[in-house]
Each structure stands twice: as structure tokens, then as C-alpha cells.
């Protein structure tokens, strides 16, 4: 798919701290940029956590620019595409507001062509304070909403769609970061748009598997959708904006196994719509959670391809994020 990448070095500023104008890598977050610039100490060392709380108690803005030529502006649409936006953000293109974000776990798409021009264009992402928004949402509730007092150091963070441990946990510090943790791009849309592709595996008792593929699409004219998987190709003629479903059956699949239990063969899924193309690698495996009754109540056993899989850690344990 043809796109313009906006990844790279942006500028980080704060209205509460006008003296700060530093580079920030996107994907990335504000705390790391401040650490790289020498404006904060390592928050994981000693009691430095307390000294950096001013960062989350400020608003932040990241800015960048990008170039467009006449061919770009001839596209049917130019879609700004981004995800993992943390968390409360307003996006502006050439001083036009184009998008509001409030969920770190959503993907966002918006056509920004009406606000673009030939040559240099400006993009700004303005982040607002998570703690204030959490309190505002709590104040609007008709009843008290409990929150993890003792673990979280910022009240009512559970009212935000944001990583909860950012405000502290029994194993982690209070570091309410903001930033964008995935690639930002502008997709050039000509005649057709190939959107999200999702897959679902439905297993039969005989051991065969049906792969259900759902494709999001948009095309103004009749366009062929071609999907191939496991040596079989299917074609649909599409027009409009909708979701299309294609099913494949694999009678004797090569099974994917976790490390230590077998091999990890991968099948190739190819999806094409007009001149747009997507390819994915997919492992076929049957996954079940067995909660049947046992001598102490009920089981908690994962089964892969009908085989019980031993957990790598004891019940109740968690993998802690590595820190150098």
C-alpha cells in the first residue's frame, strides 16, 4: 500500500514550560525524550520518581512537517492512520482540528485531504493531562467508582482507556507518560481502499479447520478482491464500502505448536484489492481453555491442539517488564 511515513524526529513542547523545545522520536513518549535531553533524571533510580511528577502534571505537544506533491493531492483521499495514541490527544493539520483521541487501544483513520496543500504541511498532536480528565469523569458519575487505592497513585485512572500501571502498581512506579507508540502514516487512496483484515479459525472434530477471513473495503467502482490461502484462491467482485467474508477449509492442516512442543509452520495469506496488497503469516492451531470440574473446584488448563500445555510461571505470577 502506498503511504507517507510520518515516523521520525518531531519537536516536543509544553505550554506550561515554554523553555522546553526538544526533539522526540515518534514512535515514542515524552518522558524518554526528556530523559534523552537531560531534563529529567532516570525515574527508576533512587527516589527520582518523585522528582518527575511535574511531567504528567503538564500538557504536551508534538509537532512535525511533511511534504506533498501534485501526485499526492491527485489521490481520491489521503488518510491519516495511527494507533496506540496515549491517550487524550487532539490532532491538528495546518491549524485545522481533524481528530480527537481518547482510547489508547483504538486504531484511528481520518481523511485529511481537505486540509492539505502543495508543499510543506504541519501536523500537531496536543496531549492533555490524564489525571484531570480521570477526575472530571469521576465527578460526572451518579455514584462512587472504586479505584485501586494503594496500587494506583492517580485516582480514577480506571475511567480512562489507558494502560493502568502507568499510575503505579505494586511492582511499578507512577509514570503517567504520553506519546504515540506505533507508526504514523498517511495512506494514498486512489480508487480502492483495503482496510482491516481479520481471521477466525473454526475447528471441526475431524481435525480440519475453516479459516474465516473478513476484509474491510471501500471502492467507488467494481473491483476484484482476490484472497489466496493454503494453495487456494478465491475472487469476489466488490463495490461500495462494507466488509466481505471469505472462507477456506484446510482438511489436514500443518499444526502450529508452542516452543518446546513441536514445530511452528506458517501459512501465507495474500489479500489484494485493485492495486492494494496485504500479506500475513498465519499459524493454524486449536486453542481451548479447559475449566471443567476437578477435585478442588474447576480446572484452569490451556490446551493446544487437544494437548495440555504447562504454564511457564506459577499461577498468580506475572512477567515484569525488563529494565536495563
Do 248 and 200 reside in the same domain of the chain?
yes
Nearest to 284 by CA among 201, 204, 225, 205: 201
Q: Are 104 and 130 in contact (CB under 8 A)?
A: no
Looking at the structure, do residues 42 and 107 belong to the same domain, yes or no?
yes
Closest CA to 82 of 163, 165, 3: 3
Which CATH number fits the domain that encloses residue 250?
Answer: 2.60.40.10
Shared-domain flag, residues 147 and 270: no
DSSP-derived secondary structure letter, 292: -
How sure is the predictor about 318, in pLDDT bands with cuts at 50, 70 and 90? low
Rounded Cα distance between 282 and 264, Å, is 10
Q: What does the pLDDT read at residue 220?
A: 80
pLDDT value at position 317?
55
Mean pLDDT of the chain: 93
Instruction: Quote the pLDDT of residue 192.
Output: 83
**Residue 35 belongs to what domain range?**
3-185
Q: Are residues 180 and 195 in the same domain?
A: no
> Within 10 A of 269 (CB to CB), how many other CB atoms are there?
19
Q: What is the pLDDT of residues 200-252, one digit of tens each?
A: 999 999 999 999 999 998 888 889 999 999 999 999 999 888 899 999 999 99
Predicted local distance difference test score (pLDDT) of residue 311 = 65
Instruction: Confirm whether 306 is domain-assigned.
Output: no
| Domain-embedded: residue 301 | no
Q: Give the chain's domain count.
A: 2
**What is the reported pLDDT for 43?**
96
- 205, exposed or middle or buried, with CB in 10 Å at 0-12, 13-18, 19+? exposed
Reading the block at residue 312, the C-alpha cell is 511457564
Please tell me the chain's helix, strand, coil percentages from 3-state DSSP, rounded to the nearest 5: 10, 50, 40
Examine residue 59 and state whether it is found in any structural domain, yes or no: yes
CATH number for the domain that contains residue 82: 2.60.120.260
pLDDT of 313 > 60? The answer is no
Alpha carbon of residue 202 to chain centroid:
25
pLDDT at 316 over 60: no
For residues 101 and 196, state if they share a domain: no
Do 225 and 175 lie in one domain? The reply is: no
Give the pLDDT confidence score for residue 195 in this predicted structure: 84
Cell numbers for 125, please give them.
Answer: 498532536
- In the predicted model, is pLDDT for residue 92 greater than 80? yes
201 plus 265 within the same structural domain: yes
Higher-pLDDT residue of 299 and 31 is 31
- 54 and 99 both lie in a single domain: yes
- Determine, yes or no, domain membership for 40: yes
56 and 129 belong to one structural domain: yes
Q: What is the pLDDT of residues 167-191, one digit of tens each?
A: 998 888 999 999 999 999 999 988 8
Residue 48 CA to its chain's centroid (Å): 30
Whether 85 is in a domain gets the answer yes
Q: Which of 137-146, 222-231, 315-324 has the lowest mean pLDDT?
A: 315-324
Contacts of 82 (CB under 8 A, 6+ apart): 107, 108, 180, 182, 183, 184, 185
Within this chain, do residues 168 and 213 fall inside the same structural domain, yes or no? Answer: no
Quick one: which of 62, 31, 47, 35 has its CA closest to 175? 31
127 & 243 share domain = no
β-partners of residue 220 are none
Computed over its alpha carbons, how large is the radius of gyration of the chain?
A: 24
Greatest extent of the chain over all pairs of C-alpha atoms, in Å:
71
My answer on whether 150 and 106 are in the same domain is yes
Position 303 in a domain = no
Amino acid at each position: 500500500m502506498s503511504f507517507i511515513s510520518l515516523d521520525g524526529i518531531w519537536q516536543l513542547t509544553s505550554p506550561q514550560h515554554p523553555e522546553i523545545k526538544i526533539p522526540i522520536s515518534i514512535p515514542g513518549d515524552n518522558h524518554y525524550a526528556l530523559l534523552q535531553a537531560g531534563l529529567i533524571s532516570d525515574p527508576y533510580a533512587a527516589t527520582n520518581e518523585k522528582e518527575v511528577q511535574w511531567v504528567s502534571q503538564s500538557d504536551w505537544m508534538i509537532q512535525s512537517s511533511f511534504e506533498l506533491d501534485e501526485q499526492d493531492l491527485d489521490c481520491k483521499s489521503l488518510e491519516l492512520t495511527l494507533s496506540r495514541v496515549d491517550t487524550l490527544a487532539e490532532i491538528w493539520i495546518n491549524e485545522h482540528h481533524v481528530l480527537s483521541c481518547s482510547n489508547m487501544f483504538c486504531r484511528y483513520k481520518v481523511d485529511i485531504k481537505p486540509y492539505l496543500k502543495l508543499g510543506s504541511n504541519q501536523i500537531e498532536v496536543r496531549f492533555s493531562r490524564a489525571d484531570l480528565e480521570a477526575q472530571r469523569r469521576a465527578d460526572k458519575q451518579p455514584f462512587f467508582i472504586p479505584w485501586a487505592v494503594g496500587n494506583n497513585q492517580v485516582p480514577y485512572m480506571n475511567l480512562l482507556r489507558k494502560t493502568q500501571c502507568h499510575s503505579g502498581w505494586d511492582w511499578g512506579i507512577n509514570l503517567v507518560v504520553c506519546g504515540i507508540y506505533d507508526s504514523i502514516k498517511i495512506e494514498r487512496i486512489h480508487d480502492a481502499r483495503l482496510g482491516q483484515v481479520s481471521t477466525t479459525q473454526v475447528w471441526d472434530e475431524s481435525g480440519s479447520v475453516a479459516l474465516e477471513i473478513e476484509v474491510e473495503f471501500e471502492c467507488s467502482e467494481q473491483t476484484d478482491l482476490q484472497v489466496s490461502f493454503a494453495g487456494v484462491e478465491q475472487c469476489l467482485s466488490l463495490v461500495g464500502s462494507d466488509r466481505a467474508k471469505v472462507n477456506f477449509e484446510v482438511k489436514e492442516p500443518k499444526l502450529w505448536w508452542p516452543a518446546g512442543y513441536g514445530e511452528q509452520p506458517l501459512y501465507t495469506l495474500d489479500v489484494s484489492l485493485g492495486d492494494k496488497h496485504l500479506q500475513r503469516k498465519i499459524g493454524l492451531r486449536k486453542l481451548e481453555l479447559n475449566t471443567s470440574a476437578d477435585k478442588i473446584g474447576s480446572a484452569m488448563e490451556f490446551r493446544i491442539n487437544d494437548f495440555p500445555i504447562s504454564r511457564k510461571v506459577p499461577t498468580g505470577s506475572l512477567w515484569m517488564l525488563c529494565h536495563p
